[in-house]
Chain A
Amino acid sequence: NAGVTQTPKFRVLKTGQSMTLLCAQDMNHEYMYWYRQDPGMGLRLIHYSVGEGTTAKGEVPDGYNVSRLKKQNFLLGLESAAPSQTSVYFCASRRAGETQYFGPGTRLLVL
């Protein structure tokens, strides 16, 4: 049971490049979330999903898109990366009525 895994662990992008962050969970959780963590800001919710095929915007969704084609995977896309998207990205999942389990994070640097 791997829990929540994130790929890649670290990435450097140039401004304007695109990339996709992958989150996978093997706990059959319905809910999945993407957060970003910035110094002095805590974790802020980007997008979330309440089930396969559904997504919704969180607190800071601009510049990101998501997809949940399979229950176990939640993808976060950056179509045109900007330096302001330099951050640590965390994925989380949970079962209804339980707390969120977090992945180890992806560190992204946009130059």
Chain B
Amino acid sequence: DQQVKQNSPSLSVQEGRISILNCDYTNSMFDYFLWYKKYPAEGPTFLISISSIKDKNEDGRFTVFLNKSAKHLSLHIVPSQPGDSAVYFCAARVANAGGTSYGKLTFGQGTILTVHP
């Protein structure tokens, strides 16, 4: 049972345009959401996160939106650059119930973003 889903395996955009990556989740106990970026032959690197008490978080060109009622989050990259071409993973963490989550993350399948010059 995939609790975090990224239904678009790939996305292609032109340089300078907006990239929108989507993620859906089913577990209402998730309280914290993250996006990781991964280049080939490297490990994932943290990009941006959002707590479930917020609906938006912005960091430079990257903005994450959370719609709790729809159990949906999205990552917007504006403007997109060729260096943004990578695999993007959405991840979610279960709320700390008596300190037992231990920061365990559930990942989506990933979306390959290609930004064309």
Contact = CB atoms under 8 A, between A and B. Distances in A.
User: Is B a genuine binding partner of A?
Assistant: yes
Interface of A: 4, 31, 33, 35, 40-45, 48, 50, 56, 58-59, 90, 92, 94, 96, 99-105
Contact of A45 (B34, B104, B108, B110): B104
Interface size of B as a range = 20 to 34
Contacts of A105: 41-43
Contacts of A40: 9, 109
Interface of B: 4, 6, 9, 34, 36, 41-46, 49, 89, 91, 102-110
B104 A104 contact: no
A41 B5 CA distance: 10
Main secondary structure of the interface of A (DSSP, over half): strand
A8 B105 CA distance: 24
A58 B104 contact: yes
B102 A31 contact: yes
Contact of A42 (B34, B43, B107): B107
Contacts of A59: 106
B45 A48 contact: no
Contacts of A94: 103
A93 to B, nearest CB: 10
B109 A42 contact: yes
Given A103-B43, A104-B43, A48 B109 contact: no
A73 B52 CA distance: 33
Given A42-B89, A42-B109, A42-B110, A102 B44 contact: yes
Contacts of B41: 104-105
Which of B4, B41, B49, B105 has most A Cβ within 10 Å? B105
Contacts of A104: 41-43
Given A42-B4, A45-B104, A48-B104, A99 B49 contact: yes
Nearest to A95: B103
Contact of B107 (A43, A56, A96): A43
B34 A99 contact: yes
B109 A41 contact: yes
A77 to B, nearest CB: 20
